[in-house]
Structure 1
Amino acid sequence: MKSRFPVWIISHAGFSVTPKSKKILTAPQESNAQRIEDIYGLHGQIEHKIAFLRTHVPEGVKLILIGHSVGSYIALHVLNRAPDLPVIHAFLLFPTIERMSESPNGKIATPLLCWFRYMLYATSYLFLKPCPEIIKSFVIHKVLEKMSFKSELPLTDVLQPFCLANAAYLGSQEMIRVVKRDDDIIKEHLPKLTFYYGKTDAWCPIKYYEDMKKDFPEGNIYLCEKGIPHAFVLGFYQEMASIVADWINNRLPRK
């Protein structure tokens, strides 16, 4: 019999426009947005996730972390910084946890994000801020239509200058800070980690997978044989969800 689990999906702070009646993080007994240093940066994003889990997940609930791309890096550091959280496993999908700027995509993204992002800020505020929401919605709809991607959610935040600026800022920090693999964290938590690498992932070259297998031969480290791309959410989300659901249902202890 298959199990059912509650799911919490946590956006990166600043990647969507927060309603005026809400704060980025409501945590009266924990760190809130004002107390987290540089909340839109890599450090702040990690603390943001920890504060959410401590505040909004009921006490005593065992946690399974699922991180994609830099979310895998964040998941590792949640484990490291918050050992009190009852995390029983973490699935790290297409994990960008090392040498991001050296990857094929990183070599292109690094100068854009680190040197030219201020041009993006200026351009977005000049041209996107005054643009009516209906036009933004139409543009996004047409782009997603070309990609054969359907969404029931409003995605106009993608073209909000505030969100674009935060995404570019976080991306620049990733290029600078995600360099050396955190082997001490991985070694400490290896039994509760599952890594899933792509065969043709320009953010995580296959050499990164091979290095992981060599350095942690006893780990749960897999290479995708299904041709799923790094950005699986754009067309392979059902396949990826089925793989993770199978892992959860069939491989994790029930106690």
Structure 2
Amino acid sequence: MSSHRQPHISTDSFFHPSTASDPSLSPTTIYMISGNPGLIGYYHSFLSILTEKLNPPTAQQTPKTPPFQIYGHSLGGFELTKTPASKPKYYDLEEQICFVQQKLEDFLADVSGSSEQTQPPTNSLVPASRPKVILIGHSVGSYIAMEILRRHRERSMNGTTSSSVDFDIIGGVMLFPTVVDIAKSPSGQKLTLAVVVGVLVRILTALIPGGLLRALIRFYMGSPQDNMVDTTAAFLESDYGVQQALHMAADEMRTITSDRWSDDVWGMSAVKDPVTRLFFYFGRNDHWVAERTRDEVIELRGRTDGGPKMIVCEEGLPHAFVLKNSEAVAKKVADMVLDIVSD
């Protein structure tokens, strides 16, 4: 039986199936796309809390309770359980988009096979429902999500989809999104320094014993949860993790520039096809999103009725919310997801 069909939390992936009391209900898939570094381990707590908020215990479920299944996987080049090749493969942003798109399609094909018994028979007058997907992107994961949405719409309209499963992307939740002009952000302007620091960290990691490394990580990160320490240590100790993060970051600076998406991708167009409902949750003083960039995106894309809903955090939540603020963000995301499926 495929691992996708059983709940699991592993180093490189997360999956929790629907707990709907009615097995004939097709669950909406929530797919998590991480930021850089692209380790899904950083999101385990967030996704676990989100699961609890979206999938109440069976006794509390009502006919109106929508079923959800939640899945996420580390980005390409960040997989800690994969045996490294003799020659490392570093993924740029375009390759990450293709990697995530393939993971999503493979997952949907896999889980749809496990639920064939709940689908109407071939000769039934009741049409089989197309799987519904909501993308959650964090940081550069938001850019990846927008590109997947664009390509999915183009392939669907042109009838050129190569996926073995036809599905609809009905919504997207973009958290602290770096979708435009990332190089103008405070951290984007300091990327050269980040490269130097990354090299030094890799050298020091090779020299420091594992126990001391974890103690230093715990101190630097302000006493985070144990899984955050373990994920960070595994990332730093991996053969190519730091280099992959820096390689991808450099490509982000070159690629994430001007707004490249049409109105229909932003959910602002009166097209015949279903328009994806989008939520953008921006931080204040986000070191990866310049204040001016954020305000310009909101002014251009967030002032249209029926367009994407854009929210600016007034609670001081940080860009790296997964370290200590998973509970607060998971609650907000759950409300956004329920809003998306309420129509």
Which bin holds the TM-score, normalised by the shorter protein?
0.7 to 0.9
> In the superposition, relative to structure 1, how do residues 166 and 6 fare at CA in structure 2: closer, same or farther (>3 Å)?
same
Q: Return the alpha-carbon distance in structure 1 between the equivalents of residues 300 and 198 of structure 2.
A: 40
Contact 1:62–1:87 (Cα < 8 Å) also in 2: yes
Q: What is the aligned counterpart of 1:62 among 109, 116, 132?
A: 132
Q: CA deviation at 1:39?
A: 5.9
Q: Partner of 1:193: helix, strand, or coil?
A: strand
1:8 equivalent in alignment to 2:90 = no
| Residue type at the aligned position of 1:183 | W
Contact 2:146 2:265 in 1 (8 A): no
1:78 paired residue number: 148
Contact between 1:65 and 1:90, CA under 8 Å: does it hold in 2? Answer: yes
**Structure 1 residue 170, shift from structure 2 partner:** 0.5
Please name the residue that 2:235 is paired with.
158
Partners of 1:94 and 1:53 lie apart in 2 by 22
Say yes or no: does 1:177 pair with 2:266. no
- Partner Cα separation in structure 1 for residue 215 and residue 78 of structure 2: 20
Query: Taking structure 1 as reference, are residues 88 and 151 closer, same or farther at Cα in structure 2, changes over 3 Å only?
Result: farther
2:38 aligned residue: none
- Cα shift at 1:41: 0.9
Matches within 5 A, 1:74-153: 74-83=144-153, 84=156, 85-109=167-191, 111-112=192-193, 116=195, 120-121=198-199, 123=200, 126-129=203-206, 131-144=208-221, 147-152=222-227
What's the counterpart of residue 164 of structure 2? none
Measure the CA separation in 2 of the matches of 1:205 and 1:44: 26
| 1:121-172 per-position Cα deviation (integer Å, ceiling 9, x unaligned) | 5x5665434655444344334434xx13213363222212410010010011
1:232-247 equivalent positions in 2, closer than 5 A: 232-247=321-336
Q: Which residue of 2 aligns with 1:196?
A: 281
Secondary structure of the 2:174 match is strand
Which structure 2 segments of 5+ residues have no match? 1-61, 113-129, 157-166, 268-274
Query: 2:80–2:235: 8 Å Cα contact kept in structure 1?
Result: no
**Contact 1:95 1:204 (C-alpha < 8 Å) held by counterparts:** yes
Q: CA deviation at 1:106?
A: 1.1
For 2:67 and 2:216, how far apart are their aligned partners in 1?
A: 37
Equivalence for 2:297: 212
Instruction: Give the equivalent residue in structure 2 for 1:31.
Output: none
Distance in 2 of aligned mates of 1:170 and 1:55: 24
Q: Deviations over 1:177-219 (max 9, x none)?
A: 11112232x5434252111111221221232232123212123
Larger radius of gyration: 2
Structure 1 residue runs of 5 or longer lacking an equivalent are 25-37
TM-score normalized with structure 2 length: 0.60
Task: Provide the residue aligned with 1:253 in structure 2.
Answer: 341
Q: Counterpart amino acid of 2:285? A: T
Matched with 2:13 is: none
User: SS at the partner of 1:228?
Assistant: coil
User: Residue 13 of structure 1: SS of its match in structure 2?
Assistant: coil
Aligned in 2, Cα 1:88/1:132: closer, same or farther, shift over 3 Å?
same
- Residue 180 of structure 1 aligns to a residue whose secondary structure is coil
Determine the structure 2 residue equivalent to 1:51.
Answer: 102
Contact 1:198 1:229 (8 Å CA) reproduced: yes
Given that 2:173 and 2:336 are in contact with CA atoms closer than 8 Å, whether structure 1 keeps it comes out as no
CA apart distance, 1:64: 0.6
Residue 252 of structure 1 aligns to a residue in which SS?
helix
Q: Which amino acid aligns with 1:71?
A: G
Q: 1:63 to 1:135 in 2, by over 3 A?
A: same
SS in 1 for 2:281: strand
TM-score, length-scaled by structure 1: 0.79
Contact in 2 for aligned 1:136/1:159 (Cα 8 Å): no
* Contact 1:15-1:163 at 8 Å conserved across structures: yes
- RMSD of aligned Cα (Å): 2.6
- Larger mean CA deviation between 187-196 and 158-167 belongs to 187-196
Cα distance in 2 for residues equivalent to 1:209 and 1:10 = 28
